[in-house]
Amino acid sequence: GQQVTCTASIGIVTSEHGHQQPEDALRDADTAMYVAKHAGKARYVVFDPEMHAVAERRLAMESDLRQAIASDQLRVAYQPIVSLRTGRPLAFETLVRWAHPVQGLLAPADFLPIADETGLIVDIGTWVLNRACADFAAWRRLSGIPPLAAIHVNLARKQLLLGKLPEVVMDALESHGVAPECLHLEVTESEIMNDPVHAAAVLGDLRRQGVKIDVDDFGTGYSSLATLHELPLDVLKIDQSFIAKMSEDHCFAALVHAVTTLAQNLGLATVAEGIETSDQVAMLQSMDCDFGQGHYFAKPMSSDEALAYLRSHATVSPEWSSVDSLSASMLHSSPVLHCPE
């Protein structure tokens, strides 16, 4: 008694490609059909030989990616998260890279979509989490560097769907001796909104164990403000697209200000992403945004470079010295970045 609506994705191949065998024509029609599906379904696409080349490159990359973890080709880059009140680096965000044997160092955009489709993202995510915990624990044991409060790790939707995520996270923390309060897991709005009830349950479980939850790229998804209030969250990370447009367009400045006020009222801290200029720093300080991240402070770097960066920031530079007296109290009173010794 229900009305069912069906759509179709159609791949078309014409005789101009001179197929000798019916299987070859079907294979190319199939390739075109998958392009139609990827383009949003309910459409037709006519085969073009470049599609075949793209499909072959993807297949090669998928099989390379399966080797990447076992062959020790994954790397992490760290980018500092800085207090906008004191200028001190308080945390690092962990960003995955792939040292591909032929193509060189690949950014997440080059391989995470395939990792996501194939489910390899789950193993990659676990590897990144453990690498980040190991480096963070090693940095915290060193003296002569500013006390780091937290390490941030990005989560993919498929990790969130995994029933055993809290177990995987707690295992990583325990095996490296990192307190749960020191780990911030970053999830995007769309990952949460895809299934807010399930996300709230898994993230709530982690948060009860002490782990901090950040909404990444805030402002780019379609979060319902009502849902936001019900979710177990600690930090809003304001997407870099807002920060980039803030100086030229007062509408964006107003939006960023509104988000920081909203966050404060909900008891959440704010991190501005993609800060590139001192103007942006000044604007964000005037809006009382708590933390900042971006090329203005430092680009993502290797773990050795991150350590050198920390050593070079053992004392705060002169432009921040007027607020330096606040730093020690800020670090330890901050509800989100405090980490027990």
- Which entry of Mg ion, ligand C2E, none binds 310, CB below 5 to 8 A by partner kind? none
- Under 8 Å between Cβ of 13 and 28: yes
Taking CB under 6 A as the rule, does residue 96 contact ligand C2E? yes
Selected from 181, 300, 303, 309, the binder of ligand C2E by CB under 6 A is 300
Instruction: Write out the binding residues for ligand C2E, residues 224-253 only, by CB under 6 A.
Output: 240
Tokens at 121, concatenated: 């993202």
Nearer to ligand C2E, 17 or 295 (CB): 295
Taking CB under 6 A as the rule, does residue 292 contact ligand C2E? no
Q: Write down the least CB distance from residue 9 to ligand C2E, Å.
A: 27
Selected from 30, 48, 205, 276, the binder of ligand C2E by CB under 6 A is 276
CA distance 284 to 277: 11
Amino acid of residue 162: L
Taking CB under 5 A as the rule, does residue 270 contact Mg ion? no
Q: 3-state DSSP call for residue 198?
A: helix
Nearer to ligand C2E, 85 or 131 (CB): 131
Q: Write down the least CB distance from residue 319 to ligand C2E, Å.
A: 18
Q: 3-state DSSP call for residue 46?
A: strand
Q: Write down the least CB distance from residue 186 to ligand C2E, Å.
A: 6
Taking CB under 5 A as the rule, does residue 186 contact Mg ion? yes
Selected from 80, 87, 166, 294, the binder of ligand C2E by CB under 6 A is 294
Tokens at 156, concatenated: 């993919």
Q: What angle do CA 120, 124, 127 make, to 5 degrees?
A: 145
Stretch that binds ligand C2E, among 37-45, 46-54, 103-111, 138-146 (CB under 6 A): 103-111
Q: Kindly compute the dihedral angle of the four CA atoms of residues 224, 230, 235, 236, in this order, to the nearest 10 degrees.
A: 10
> What are the Cα distances from residue 56, in Å, to 31, 52, 230, 307?
10, 6, 45, 40
Q: Write down the least CB distance from residue 66 to ligand C2E, Å.
A: 17
CA distance 174 to 79: 24
Detail the DSSP E strand segments found in 108-227.
150-154, 183-188, 212-218
> What are the Cα distances from residue 94, in Å, to 77, 80, 169, 289?
6, 9, 15, 22
Nearer to Mg ion, 135 or 217 (CB): 217
Contact characters 106-135, ligand C2E, x per CB under 6 A: -xxx--x------------x--x-------
Taking CB under 6 A as the rule, does residue 217 contact ligand C2E? yes
CA distance 153 to 73: 19
Residues that bind Mg ion in the complex, under the rule CB under 5 A:
154, 186, 216-217, 273
Residues that bind ligand C2E in the complex, under the rule CB under 6 A:
79, 95-96, 107-109, 112, 125, 128, 154-156, 186, 216-217, 240, 273-276, 293-295, 300
